[in-house]
Amino acid sequence: MLRTWLSLGALVAAATGGALLLRRRCERTDRGRRFFRHPTSTTGVALLTFFVLVAVGAPLVAPYDPAAQPDPVGLQNRPPSWLHPLGTDLYSHDLLSRVVFGARVSLGVGTLAMLVALTLGAVVGALAGYLGRWVDGLLMRIVDVGIAVPRMFLLLMAVALWSRLPLGTLIVLIGVTGWFGTSRLVRAEVLSLRERPFVDAARALGASTRRVIFGHVLPNAAAPLIVSAALGIGHVMLLEAALSFLGIGVRPPVASWGNMIADGRDLLTTAPWISLVPGFAIASVVMALNAVGDALRDALDPHEEAT
């Protein structure tokens, strides 16, 4: 337990220290100042750093094995105490350990799925914007269809048809159903960048289309991508939590914040902490991501830069 308290303390210090340090360093640049202009940016960066560090250092931070059921009779549904700071659940799992390891799962799934979506969205958007004409038309029609079907129903359908989806497939599916908005953003950026001189120059120098897109255009369209990434992880985390809550996402005994909320659903009146704690965790991380995303959008906004 001492190890847990010490590492938690260290991580909190590291996160707040890191955020404040970052703010100090960013005061010097325009973008940095714009980023930290928001009242929520600093807290957001600190929270995010904290949870990422917790996820990375899970084995160090967690006091117990998250899947262990040491005493399903005596340690069932215990409220927060010194030995179990966040209490225990129906199976005598220690909730703090599960929240810590759950951070790995939720953040991991969020990041990976977001990467899949981002890559797909960036590539499709860049191709559509750069190549134009029928390629653009076809790709954007596909995007229209993708935006039309609510993501949840598409995922429900996939889960229904293939009854047992391994987690990896689920991550890819979540990614594949979520790239449409990003592609539109990237396409818009590419369209505006297409006519810029540096693109002409690259073409004149004989660069292939692929080189131009990936080497020159996309890096300049990075701004909306970065914002998409930050906000995207948040969306995916909420989606994964929802799927796990419904019983079709991450399966026990692996702890995910979503299935932890489901575990506590029948015990709301007698042991509310089982559901409330993981919910707060999700809300905190997604809040931090949204705050950082908004601030990034402000900071990296090319329109503001031009003035």
Residue 41 burial by Cβ neighbours in a 10 Å radius (0-12, 13-18, 19+): buried
Interaction of residue 251 with another protein, rule CB under 8 A: yes
Residue number, 116 or 257, with CB nearest to another protein: 257
Measured from the CB atom, the residue of 215 and 253 that comes closer to another protein is 253
Which of 11/231 has CB closer to another protein? 231
Residues touching another protein: how many (CB under 8 A)? 64
Q: Which of 79, 168, 247, 302 binds another protein (CB under 8 A)?
A: 247
Look up tokens 């004989």; give the residue. Answer: 206
Q: What's the rounded Cα separation, in Å, for the pair 262 and 246? A: 7
Whose Cβ is closer to another protein: residue 19's or residue 212's? 19
Residues in region 213-242 near another protein by CB under 8 A: 234, 238, 241-242
Segment near another protein (CB under 8 A), from 7-15, 110-118, 157-165, 215-223? 157-165
- The answer to the question of residue 68 lying near another protein (CB under 8 A) is yes
Neighbours of 131 (CB within 10 A): 15
Query: Does 307 participate in binding another protein (rule CB under 8 A)?
Result: no
Quick one: 76 or 119, whose CB is closer to another protein? 76
Task: Give me the phi and psi of 68, to 5 degrees please.
Answer: -75, 140
How far is Cα 122 from Cα 204, in angstroms, rounded to an integer? 24
Q: Which of 293, 273, 236, 268 is nearest to 99 (CA)?
A: 273
Does position 5 interact with another protein (CB under 8 A)? The reply is: no
Residue 302 touching another protein (CB under 8 A): no
Q: For the segment 20-39, give every residue that binds another protein (CB under 8 A).
A: 39
- Shortest Cβ 139–another protein spacing (Å): 12
One character per residue 103-142, x = contact with another protein (rule: CB under 8 A): -------------------------------------xxx
Does residue 204 belong to the site contacting another protein (CB under 8 A)? no
Q: Give whichever of 3 and 251 is closer to another protein, judged by the CB atom.
A: 251
Asked if 56 touches another protein (CB under 8 A), the answer is no
- Rounded to whole angstroms, the Cα distance separating 89 from 48 reads 26
CB of 207 to another protein, least distance (A): 28
Output the smallest distance, CB 211 to another protein, in A: 27
CB of 255 to another protein, least distance (A): 12
Q: Which residues of the chain form contacts with another protein (CB under 8 A)?
A: 39-40, 67-69, 72-73, 76, 90-92, 140-142, 144-145, 147-154, 156-164, 184, 234, 238, 241-242, 245-248, 251-253, 258, 261, 265-270, 272, 275-276, 279, 282-283, 286-287, 289-291
